[in-house]
Amino acid sequence: MIFSEKKDVQSTNRINYLNNYIGHKSTKARLVFEGIASGAVASIITVIYRILIDKADYLRNIAINMVRADWRLGFFWILFLALGGFAIALLIKYEPMSSGSGIPQIKGMILGLIDENWIKVIITKFLGGIVAILGGLSLGREGPSIQLGSSAATGFGKLFKRNSGEERFVLTCGASAGLATAFNAPLAGLIFSLEEMHKTFSPIVLISALSSCVVADFISKQVFGMSPVLNFTGIEMLPLQYYTYIIPLGIIMGFIGLLFNKTIVNTQSFLNNKYFNKIAVPVIVMVIVGTVGLFFPQALGGGHNLIMSLSKMTSIKFLVILLLVKFAFTMISYGSGAPGGIFLPLLAIGALVGSIYGNALALILNIPETYVSNFIILAMAGAFTAIVKAPVTGIILIVEMTASFKVLLPVLLVCLIAFITAELLGFEPIYDTLLHRLLKRKGIKIPQGSKKDILEFAVNAGSLMENRYLKDISLPDDSLVINITRGNRDITPNGKFKFHVGDIVAILCDKNSISDIRENIMKMTM
C-alpha cells in the first residue's frame, strides 16, 4: 500500500473514536439515525446531479448529430467547447477540491489530513461536472456523486454540530449513499466505504452506512425506477467448459490495470507541469475531445451508452480503434483536472476489452456469440478490480449493476485472477496514488517505506486490556506502546498506566511482523 499500514491506522482511528460509545444503545441508535438522515440528504443532492448529467448527455448527442448533419455548425460547437473549458478552469481555480473524481479528497478527509468547504465543493462540482459532460469529456458521474454525497453529509454534520469523529462518520455515510444513488447499487456503496475508503471493518460503520445506502437506494428508485443501470437482456449462464477462457481474460485485465494507472498518472503529470497554463489545459482538452469525438461519438461521455451498444458490435478492428480512442479520451479528460470520475470510463474500457476478447473467441474458437455479453461483463469486473484493487466492491458492483446472479461465479473467478495479477505486477491502487499526489501538491507529508510502522487500536468493553495495567499486558515481540489517546488527551504511557474502554492505543512495531502483531493485539483489545 502506498501509505503502508499508517493509512489504515489513521482511518481506523477515526472510526474507533466512535467506538467509545459501543455498548450504549442510545448512542448507537443515534448514529444509525444520523446515517439515515445523512443518506437521505446525500441521495437527494446526487439524484438531482444524476438527472442533470443525463440531460447533459442527451443535449450533447443532439448537438453532435446537428454538427455531423451540417458541418458549417462546427465553428459554434468548437466555440462552445472552448468556453466550456474556460468555465471549468475558473471553477477549479475557485475551488481546487472539486477537481477530478473527488474520491481521493474524501479519503484524505477521512484520514483527517485535509478539509473542504462543503458549500463551494457542491456548487463547483455540480456546475463543472455538467459542463464537462456537455462537452463530451470521458468522465463518469460516480466520483462526483460520491463527493457530492459526502459534502452534503458533511454540511449536515456541521449544521447539527456533530463532533469531528462523528463528522467523518457522517461523511462516510454520505459517500456510500452517493455511490448507491449513482449506480442503483446499495451494497456496492456499503462495501466501497469499508474496503476502499477505510480499508478496515467496523461494525458501527457497517450498520450505519448500510442504513444510509438503503435510504439512498429507496430515494433513487423512486426517481429512476427499478431497472438496473446496465440492463443486459438475455444473459445466459456461461457453460463450465468455457471457464478456462476466463483465466487469460483475468490476466489481461491485470495488465490493463497497470497500463491504466500508469498512463493516467503520467498524463496528469504532463498536463500539470509548469510549462502549461492551468487555464489553457481544460480549454485545449475540451476542444480536442469534443472535436475528435465528432468522428467517434461513442467514445464521448462516461460510457454507459457505449457499454450497452457493444453487444451489437462485432467488428474487432472497429472495437480496437474505439478502445484506443476511449482510452486516450479518458486519460486526457481526467488529466485536465475537470470534475468527473473514472468509474464508468474504466468500466467502458473493460467492456471494450471484453467485447474484443469475446468476439475473438467466437471467431477463432467458434464460441457462440451469445456469450460475448458474458465476457463484456467479466472484463468490466476485472478492470475495476485491477485498477482500484477493491475486488469485493468490484464483484458486488457488477452483479448489482447488471442485476444478474448468473454471472456471479465467473465474476468471482475473473476478479480473483485480475487481483492476483495486479498484485504480482506491483502497482498501487489508483485512488491511493491519486491521494498521494494530492497530498504532495498540498505539502502534506505521509511516512512511507520505513522499517517501522504504527498500528492503533481501540480498547473495547470486555476485552483483555480493559481495566488492566500496561505492565501486566504481554505485548508481542518487536512492538512498543508509544501513545494513548483518551478523549481529547494524549497520554505518554508507563507501566502503571491503566487501560479504560475507549482508549486509542498507538503501537510502534516492525513492518515485517505487522500482520502477526495486529492479529495478536486485536485479540486483546476486541
Q: What is the pTM of this model?
A: 0.81
DSSP 319-368: HHHHHHHHHHHHHHHHHTT-S-BSHHHHHHHHHHHHHHHHHHHHHHH---
Domain stops at, among 392, 421, 441: 441
Helix (H) or strand (E) holding 210: helix 203-224
Domain stops at, among 389, 417, 441: 441
195 & 254 share domain: no
Rounded Cα gap, residues 466 and 352, in angstroms: 55
Q: Is residue 350 part of a domain?
A: yes
CATH code at 390? 1.10.3080.10
Assign 447 to helix, strand or coil. Answer: coil
Q: Quick one: pLDDT at residue 445?
A: 63
Q: Quick one: pLDDT at residue 163?
A: 61
Q: Quick one: pLDDT at residue 381?
A: 96
Nearest C-alpha neighbor of 124 from the set 87, 175, 155: 87
73 & 210 share domain: yes
Instruction: Confirm if 2 and 428 have CB atoms less than 8 A apart.
Output: yes
C-alpha cell at 365: 474458437
Helix (H) or strand (E) holding 489: strand 489-491
512 DSSP assignment: G
Q: Quick one: pLDDT at residue 504?
A: 77
Q: Quick one: pLDDT at residue 214?
A: 94
Half-sphere exposure of 393 (CA within 13 A, CB side): 24
Q: What is the 3-state secondary structure (H, E, C) of 8-40?
A: HHHHHHHHHCHHHHCCCHHHHHHHHHHHHHHHH
Half-sphere exposure of 322 (CA within 13 A, CB side): 27
Q: Is residue 303 part of a domain?
A: yes
Q: Is residue 231 part of a domain?
A: no
Rounded Cα gap, residues 524 and 526, in angstroms: 6
206 & 264 share domain: no
327 & 383 share domain: yes
Instruction: Confirm if 390 and 198 have CB atoms less than 8 A apart.
Output: no
Phi, psi of 426 (to 5 degrees): 80, 20
Residues 6 or more apart whose CB falls under 8 angstroms from that of 452 comprise 508, 509, 510, 511
Q: Is residue 245 part of a domain?
A: yes
C-alpha cell at 89: 478552469
For residue 222, which amino acid is it?
A: Q
C-alpha cell at 256: 490493463
C-alpha cell at 459: 480498547
Radius of gyration of the chain (CA): 24
Q: Is residue 282 part of a domain?
A: no
Q: Quick one: pLDDT at residue 122?
A: 94
Residues 6 or more apart whose CB falls under 8 angstroms from that of 384 comprise 343, 346, 347, 350, 390, 393, 394, 397, 398
196 DSSP assignment: I
383 & 491 share domain: no
What is the tens place of the pLDDT at every residue in 42-68? 999 999 999 999 999 999 999 999 999
Based on the number of CB atoms within 10 Å of its own CB, is 32 exposed (0-12), middle (13-18) or buried (19 or more)? middle
How many C-beta neighbours within 10 Å does residue 449 have?
A: 8
Domain stops at, among 441, 472, 492: 441
384 & 469 share domain: no
Q: Quick one: pLDDT at residue 446?
A: 57
Instruction: Confirm if 64 and 310 have CB atoms less than 8 A apart.
Output: no
Nearest C-alpha neighbor of 405 from the set 368, 426, 377: 377
339 & 461 share domain: no
146 & 212 share domain: yes
C-alpha cell at 508: 510502534
Q: Is residue 284 part of a domain?
A: no
Which residues constitute the domain of residue 195?
A: 4-224
Q: Quick one: pLDDT at residue 487?
A: 66
Rounded Cα gap, residues 504 and 110, in angstroms: 17
205 & 249 share domain: no
Instruction: Confirm if 168 and 331 have CB atoms less than 8 A apart.
Output: no
Angle at 177 between CA 175 and CA 178, to 5 degrees: 65
Q: Quick one: pLDDT at residue 310?
A: 92
27 & 93 share domain: yes
Per-residue confidence of the chain (526 residues) as pLDDT tens digits? 343 444 444 444 444 444 443 444 445 677 788 889 989 999 999 999 999 999 999 999 999 999 999 999 999 999 999 999 999 999 999 999 999 888 999 988 877 778 889 999 999 999 999 999 999 999 998 889 999 999 998 888 888 776 656 677 788 899 999 999 998 899 999 999 888 887 766 677 788 889 999 999 999 999 998 888 888 877 889 999 999 999 999 999 999 999 999 999 999 999 988 788 889 999 999 999 999 999 999 999 999 999 999 988 989 999 999 999 999 999 999 999 999 999 999 999 999 999 999 999 999 999 999 999 999 999 999 999 999 999 999 999 999 999 888 899 999 999 999 999 999 999 999 998 998 888 888 776 654 544 555 666 777 777 787 788 888 777 776 677 777 877 667 677 777 788 887 777 877 776 566 666 766 777 776 6
Q: Give 484's strand partners.
A: 491, 505
Query: What is the number of domains present in the chain?
Result: 3
Rounded Cα gap, residues 141 and 317, in angstroms: 29
CATH code at 470? 3.30.70.1450
C-alpha cell at 121: 465543493
